[in-house]
Structures are given as structure tokens and as C-alpha cells.
């Protein structure tokens, strides 16, 4: 049998949406700015699977001047706990120096304790008589509320304080502070409070691959990019992994053809429409969810290399919200004109 050769490139559609900057993202960010004077630390959450792409430059420009800790969330979904993963993490830590960086799976007691210890150390050195306040920020669905709940459980043994969910936009408003470390009068330690915030998306994503990655990790609603397109990108990425095709062998033989995989999956799951037609959209969403939950391989989508963050920041066109709006307007009018020409 001929050896399977994965596609060497994926060509995204030109019409792929590049934005998901919503009203509550803009208002959330404005409110965060007004709160800065009462904040001691910003925990910026980024997704472990997209360490570069899940960076939102707005958090650096709008919330500058505060001590910052970058926490890479969903570690379990991108790491197999092997030497290569530890080396990647060390490299990412070097990217951020002199700022601190931690990696966290919200279900790992050890990871959560590491973040909690960081917060406690900060509180021990704080002179703030009202306690230490930490603002948790990040892109939509990155795992901010889950981190807050895990820290609260570990720190004060109290149940969930923030709602979480598999789709972005569960948190819409800035909450009041949630206690994660009790006051300790003997040690002269005031409490530590976390403030959860709504996820804020990048105003405009110039790179179509970045948009696909953000959609795949769940940072934009599943209605924004067609599930079959997104699943095609997932198939492309799976095939680049060493054991990639083996991960979907229950549904299809090694393939570069998304329809083959989706039809095989629909049949296997019994997701058929009237007349026995495979429901390829439902199969695509099912496969995407399976990957998001860590049941279709654990891998990182961004290329992590020495100096990678600096390179990424230099390449980033750093659009402001207004510039992004202008660009989107131009794009819409160009699309409308193209549609008009096509109809005429």
C-alpha cells in the first residue's frame, strides 16, 4: 500500500472572517482600565496550545504599568508531560523574562497550588491594608473563570464562584472580587481577591491562520467559521502529527480529504440526515469538540522557538480598535462591491 503523505500546506479561504470583537469586549476593557489603580497584579491567561496566537496586544497597551503574571492555561491539552514539553515551557518562560510565567491545568492540584503560592507571596510583600487584588484577563474561553474557581477551591475550600462553559462569552461583566486566600491576622496577611473579567478578543486578526487557530481552540463562537472548514484545518494539523492519522482511525483511513473523514465519522456515529445522508456539519462539530477536550491528540498549534515572542510582536501590525474598525469597514465594502460585480 502507498505510504500516506499529509498535505504540505493549508490554504485558508480569502473570505474567512478576521474579527470577533464584540460590544462587551470593548466595554469590559474600558472598565478594566478604570479599575487599574486598585489592582496589585494582572494575571494574563493565554492558551497553552496557542502561546503566541492567544496573546492579545490590547492587554499590554491598555493595562500597562502593573505587575503581570502570564499563566498558560489548558496545559493538559497541549502537553504530554514529556521532556520536549518541559523544554518548550522553559523556552516560553525565557520569552517573558523579566516577567513571570506559569503553566496550569485547572484540574491539577500541583499546577493550581503553584499559582496560589505566587499570589500568597505577593500578598506577603504587599502593604495594602485592603488586601491584594488580582485582575484575571485573557481572550474569550481561555479558562479564566475555571482558574478562579480552582484557586478558590484550593485556597479557601469554597465551591465555584464563576460560571464556566465550553463556548466563549460566558462571563459578560466584571465580577466583584472573590477571595482565594484568607486573612491571617497573626502573619499580618490581608486576604487575596481575584477579579474575573469577560474575555476580550483581538480587534482584527490580520493572519487567517491565526483566526483558524483561535476558532479551533474555542475563542470564537462556532457559528463564525463553518465547522467543515475548521475541521478541515484540524485534519490538516492532525496529519502533521506523528501519530495523527491513527487518532482518527476509528472513523476513516488516513486521508487529506475532509469529506471522507466527515462522512466516515457521521456513519460511525449514526449522524445521518433524511435519506441516510451523512450530517457532515454535525460530524465536524463533534470532531472539533473531541479535539478541544483532549480526546484527539495533545499538541501545540503555534511554532515555539527561541525568541519566538519577540518575532511575533514585531510582525504584529498592532492595530488599534479604531484602525481595526476602519479595516473591517473597507473589507465589507470591498466584499459588497465584489458581490455586486459578480451579480451584474
Ligand X SMILES: Nc1nc2c(ncn2[C@@H]2O[C@H](COP(=O)(O)OP(=O)(O)OP(=O)(O)O)[C@@H](O)[C@H]2O)c(=O)[nH]1
- Binding site for GTP, by residue number, is 141-146, 199
Least Å distance, CB 309 to ligand X, is 21
258 neighbors 227 (Cβ within 8 angstroms): no
SS3 92: helix
Touching ligand X, residues 270-309 (CB under 6 A): 294
Q: Pick from 51, 78, 155, 168 the residue near ligand X by CB under 6 A.
A: 168
Q: Pick from 17, 57, 169, 308 the residue near ligand X by CB under 6 A.
A: 169
Least Å distance, CB 166 to ligand X, is 4
Q: Which residues contact 23 (CB under 8 A, 6 or more apart)?
A: none
Q: What's the sign of the alpha-carbon dihedral 34, 154, 105, 230?
A: negative
Residue 164 interacting with ligand X (CB under 6 A):
yes
Least Å distance, CB 221 to ligand X, is 10
- Per DSSP, 304 falls in state P
Residue 54 interacting with ligand X (CB under 6 A):
no
176-215 mask for ligand X (x: CB under 6 A)? ----------------------xx----------------
Least Å distance, CB 139 to ligand X, is 7
Pairing status of strand 68-73 against strand 132-138: unpaired
Whichever of 22 and 258 has its CB closer to ligand X, that residue is 22
Q: Which residues contact 173 (CB under 8 A, 6 or more apart)?
A: 24, 28, 198
Touching ligand X, residues 113-142 (CB under 6 A): 138, 140-142
Three cell numbers, residue 119: 499570589
Residue 78 interacting with ligand X (CB under 6 A):
no
Least Å distance, CB 292 to ligand X, is 8
- Per DSSP, 118 falls in state H
- Report d(CA 254, CA 235) in Å as an integer: 10
Residue pointed to by grid coordinates 474579527: 19
- Report d(CA 203, CA 331) in Å as an integer: 14
Q: Is residue 241 packed enough to be buried (19+ CB in 10 Å), middle (13-18) or exposed (0-12)?
A: middle
Least Å distance, CB 225 to ligand X, is 17
Residue 73 interacting with ligand X (CB under 6 A):
yes
Instruction: Using CB under 6 A, list all residues that contact ligand X.
Output: 73-74, 76-77, 105-106, 138, 140-146, 164-166, 168-171, 198-199, 294
Amino acid at each position: 500500500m502507498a505510504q500516506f503523505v499529509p498535505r504540505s500546506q493549508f490554504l485558508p479561504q480569502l473570505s474567512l472572517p478576521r474579527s470577533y470583537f464584540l460590544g462587551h469586549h470593548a466595554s469590559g476593557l474600558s472598565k478594566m482600565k478604570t479599575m487599574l489603580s486598585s489592582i496589585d497584579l494582572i494575571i494574563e491567561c493565554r492558551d497553552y496550545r496557542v502561546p503566541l496566537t492567544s496573546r492579545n496586544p490590547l492587554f499590554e497597551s491598555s493595562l500597562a504599568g502593573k505587575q503581570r503574571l502570564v499563566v498558560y492555561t489548558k496545559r493538559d491539552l497541549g502537553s504530554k508531560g514529556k521532556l520536549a514539553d518541559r523544554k518548550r515551557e522553559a523556552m516560553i518562560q525565557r520569552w517573558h523574562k523579566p516577567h513571570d510565567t506559569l503553566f496550569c491545568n485547572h484540574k491539577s492540584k500541583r499546577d493550581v497550588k503553584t499559582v496560589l503560592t505566587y499570589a500568597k507571596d505577593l500578598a506577603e510583600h504587599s502593604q495594602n491594608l485592603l488586601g491584594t487584588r488580582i485582575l484575571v484577563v485573557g481572550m474569550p474561553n481561555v479558562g479564566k473563570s475555571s482558574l478562579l474557581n480552582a484557586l478558590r477551591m484550593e485556597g479557601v475550600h469554597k465551591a465555584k464562584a464563576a460560571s464556566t462553559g465550553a463556548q466563549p462569552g460566558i462571563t459578560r461583566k466584571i465580577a466583584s472580587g472573590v477571595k482565594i486566600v484568607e486573612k491571617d491576622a497573626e502573619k499580618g496577611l490581608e486576604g487575596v481577591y481575584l477579579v474575573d473579567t469577560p474575555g476580550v478578543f483581538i480587534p482584527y486578526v490580520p493572519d487567517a491562520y491565526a483566526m483558524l487557530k483561535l476558532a479551533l481552540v474555542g475563542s470564537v463562537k462556532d457559528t463564525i467559521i463553518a465547522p467543515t472548514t475548521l475541521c478541515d484545518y484540524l485534519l490538516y494539523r492532525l496529519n502533521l502529527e506523528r501519530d495523527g492519522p491513527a487518532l482518527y482511525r476509528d472513523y476513516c483511513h488516513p486521508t487529506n480529504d475532509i469529506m471522507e473523514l466527515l462522512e466516515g465519522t457521521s456513519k460511525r456515529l449514526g449522524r445521518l440526515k433524511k435519506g441516510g445522508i451523512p450530517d457532515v456539519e454535525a460530524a465536524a462539530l463533534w470532531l472539533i469538540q473531541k479535539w478541544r477536550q483532549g480526546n484527539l491528540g495533545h499538541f501545540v498549534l503555534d511554532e515555539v522557538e527561541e525568541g519566538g515572542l519577540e518575532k511575533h510582536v514585531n510582525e504584529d501590525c498592532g492595530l488599534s480598535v479604531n484602525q481595526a474598525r476602519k479595516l473591517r469597514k473597507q473589507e465589507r465594502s470591498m466584499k459588497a462591491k465584489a458581490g455586486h460585480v459578480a451579480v451584474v
